[in-house]
Structure 1
Amino acid sequence: MSKVPFRFDQVGSLLRPEQLKKAREEFAKGTISKEELTKVEDAAIIKVIEQQKEVGLKAVTDGEFRRRWWHLDFIAGLNGITVYDFETTAFGLTTQAQGTYVSGQLSFCELHPFLEHFAFTKEHAGATLAKQTIPGPNMIYLDSFILSKQYHENPAYQTKEAFVADLIETYKQAIQAFYDSGCRYLQLDDTSWGGLFDERFRGLITQNGYNPDELIQEFGDITEAVLADKPEDLAVTFHFCKGNFQSHWLYNGSYDKIAERLLAIEQFDGFFLEFDDERSGSFEPLKNIKDQRIVLGLVTTKTPELEEKEALKKRIQEAAEFVPFEQLCLSPQCGFSSTHEGNKVTEEAQWAKLRLVVETAKEVWEGA
């Protein structure tokens, strides 16, 4: 299959090599310059692009090697956003984290560093398709607006509607900017939808004056508006998992509440969805799919144990009871390093899992 998403694909982030982790620590201490850190990043990205090609992937990323967080670095580069530090226990472990809140009028920055980052990836990808990942718009809506204590204490907008209009315009401009930079495969990573079915987060949303059931419709409306003017030859996919921080997760619950609205977003070429354990629930919610593709996240990035190929094939057949077989694809359930620290897997296990995805897909789908 030559169209995005591919029969065998990946979410985006990859484990940071030790040399890069060390350089980032040295930069934080002030012992190396930004330019020296960038040189280390450049070399690591060039190498990881070649490693992805060797595995056989049809789309490569920069592994998100220039990021601290899978989502925050992009959001922090927008106008009207403030970043703050805090301590969290949300993922089952106590750790230092960062958050964002809307502190002024939201807009896209024409000099957003991700544009330059993508140009570098595309250059070194050569004839291979370069994939760009960014957080979806509802990440900002939920975390930096609806649930943000800082925002509610000092709101930057008189109405929610005014904020939503700026959020949509910001993302429209971002999508066009990546397209103008040569991007033809863009992925919106948007875990915020998990807050709409997780009971604890539904409670928090309600406490902040919002109805989580109404937000399901609104999240879909915002996403459709963001994609309304996307170029015809730009493939856009959606990725969702229930959180992925050093092999820990955030949300609990099944896709039942969100599937009908989410899978109705026809501007997406495909949906990367997590199905690596019993927490994911059954494949039945996938019956809501239209003509888009479902990328089954059957290979976990949270643990190093390699899945059995036959077990993966059986799971694909189970999913085919609800989604036409020709609309199915295979990938890991998430990235391997949603944050700089990475999951509790080795680089050897990472590449073994990606090879498994490629090999399994080629055996399942003729011409993959």
Structure 2
Amino acid sequence: MADTFKFRIDHHGSLVRPPELLAARAADAPDRRAIEDAAIAEAVRRQRRISLTVVTDGEFRRADFRSVILDAVDGFDRGELKPHRSPVAEDAAALTTLTRIPAKATLPSPACLAAELYTPGGAWGSARELGLALAKIINDEIAAIIARGVRYVQIDNPGYTGPLTGSAAETLSLDDAIEIDALAVTLKDKPFNVRIGLCPVLSAPEIVPAVAEKLFAEIPVDRWSLPFDKGTPGEIALLRAVPADRDVCLGIVDPTIAELEDIDTIMDRMDVAGAIRDLEDVAVSPSAGFSPTAGGATIGVEDQWRKLIHVETIARMCWGNEL
């Protein structure tokens, strides 16, 4: 499936929080919302300037990638989940008013949350039971996000790293995780111009191909976001495992280091990718978010923008100006 909707220059969602935003969060400043609004508007302006093909709010209102659900949903300790506000949809709707470039929203996967939050002997009979309840919450939220004009939703589950690299699942089996995440992303009457993507792993020195094939075949997302910045056999094996009817976003630069990668090295890797599948089915991005946790970035704000410009440069070398 060619990437008809041209989301070629992508990123995982989180951006480095500016110092004034971190200070407002640390102090629980009464004007924190206004400071967040200003920071988001500036981040969107800079994303537009780089000519990214999707923009996000940088996850600037979140403490970490899980908190968007934990802060909006009650009942984890009672065994009955109920949102008391929209986790993402209202903020995503506000984002669409700031730009004509398609807005992207990000969510943690329900299987990832269930594996991390389940406690034996607690309110939930099993991690699977918690995961199924979370899948309903996140499925409803994805539908609400799309209804508000967002065309690209990505869910993240780094918990697939274990099975993909040959480690046994601890809290939630691979089959249960796949079932839960598949339920979350399966929508009735999904608009033709909407992409749903999933990031299952942030590094892949080696992988178990059969696990990758199972994962990619059974979760019905449109796009898989995969690491492609180290040149490892595992990265190549992951790319080979993506079904022909899905597109793939390759993480070609490391968002944790300020140094810019050698362009010739990246282009050599893109040549390898092009030998495996049609580059019309491919997008490029950093290999992870810049700051999944507020204050947890390992590079600075300006280094981040240089990295994104680097990704944009590679995209234009691969596809020209008609992205």
Bigger mean CA deviation after superposition, 322-331 or 59-68:
322-331
Instruction: Determine the structure 2 residue equivalent to 1:75.
Output: 70
More strand by share: 1
CA distance in 1, matches of 2:129, 2:176: 14
CA distance in 1, matches of 2:297, 2:211: 27
Secondary structure, in 3 states, of the residue corresponding to 1:219? helix
Instruction: Determine the structure 1 residue equivalent to 2:168.
Output: 202
Query: In 2, are the aligned partners of 1:5 and 1:237 still within 8 Å (CA)?
Result: no
Q: Which amino acid aligns with 1:24?
A: R
State the Cα distance separating 1:136 from its structure 2 match.
0.9
CA distance in 2, matches of 1:365, 1:141: 40
Instruction: Determine the structure 2 residue equivalent to 1:236.
Output: 196
Q: Identify the match of residue 271 of structure 1 among 194, 218, 224.
A: 224
CA distance in 1, matches of 2:317, 2:287: 20
Q: Which amino acid aligns with 2:168?
A: R
Over residues 244-280 of structure 1, what are the superposed CA-to-partner deviations in whole Å (9 max), with x where a residue is unaligned?
A: xxxxxxx975363531122214631211111222667
State the Cα distance separating 1:187 from its structure 2 match.
0.8
Structure 1's 322 and 179: CA in aligned 2 closer, same or farther, altered over 3 A?
same
1:1-368 → structure 2 map (5 Å cutoff):
3-4=4-5, 6-27=7-28, 32-33=29-30, 36-81=31-76, 103-109=77-83, 111-125=85-99, 127-145=100-118, 151-152=119-120, 154-158=121-125, 162-197=129-164, 202=168, 205=170, 215-233=173-191, 234-242=194-202, 254=207, 256=209, 258-265=211-218, 267-277=220-230, 281-290=234-243, 291-366=245-320, 367-368=322-323
Q: Which amino acid aligns with 2:177?
A: F
Secondary structure, in 3 states, of the residue corresponding to 2:217? coil
Instruction: Determine the structure 2 residue equivalent to 1:99.
Output: none
Q: Which runs of 5+ in 2 are unaligned?
A: none
Secondary structure, in 3 states, of the residue corresponding to 1:236? strand
Structure 1's 253 and 239: CA in aligned 2 closer, same or farther, altered over 3 A?
same
Over residues 170-214 of structure 1, what are the superposed CA-to-partner deviations in whole Å (9 max), with x where a residue is unaligned?
A: 222122222233322111111111132456x637x1xx6x6xxxx
Bigger mean CA deviation after superposition, 3-12 or 344-353:
3-12
Structure 1's 273 and 255: CA in aligned 2 closer, same or farther, altered over 3 A?
farther
Secondary structure, in 3 states, of the residue corresponding to 1:295? strand
Bigger mean CA deviation after superposition, 282-291 or 353-362:
282-291
The share of aligned pairs that are identical, in percent, is 26
State the Cα distance separating 1:164 from its structure 2 match.
4.4
CA distance in 2, matches of 1:281, 1:161: 29
> What RMSD, in angstroms, separates the aligned Cα atoms of the two structures?
2.5
Instruction: Determine the structure 2 residue equivalent to 1:87.
Output: none
Q: Which amino acid aligns with 2:209?
A: D
Q: Which amino acid aligns with 2:239?
A: L
Bigger mean CA deviation after superposition, 179-188 or 280-289:
280-289
Query: In 1, are the aligned partners of 2:13 and 2:58 still within 8 Å (CA)?
Result: yes
Q: Aligned pair count?
A: 318
CA distance in 1, matches of 2:17, 2:148: 25
Secondary structure, in 3 states, of the residue corresponding to 1:339? coil
State the Cα distance separating 1:158 from its structure 2 match.
4.0
Secondary structure, in 3 states, of the residue corresponding to 2:79? strand
CA distance in 2, matches of 1:177, 1:342: 29
Q: Which runs of 5+ in 1 are unaligned?
A: 82-102, 146-150, 244-250
TM-score, structure 1 normalization: 0.78
Q: Which amino acid aligns with 2:198?
A: F
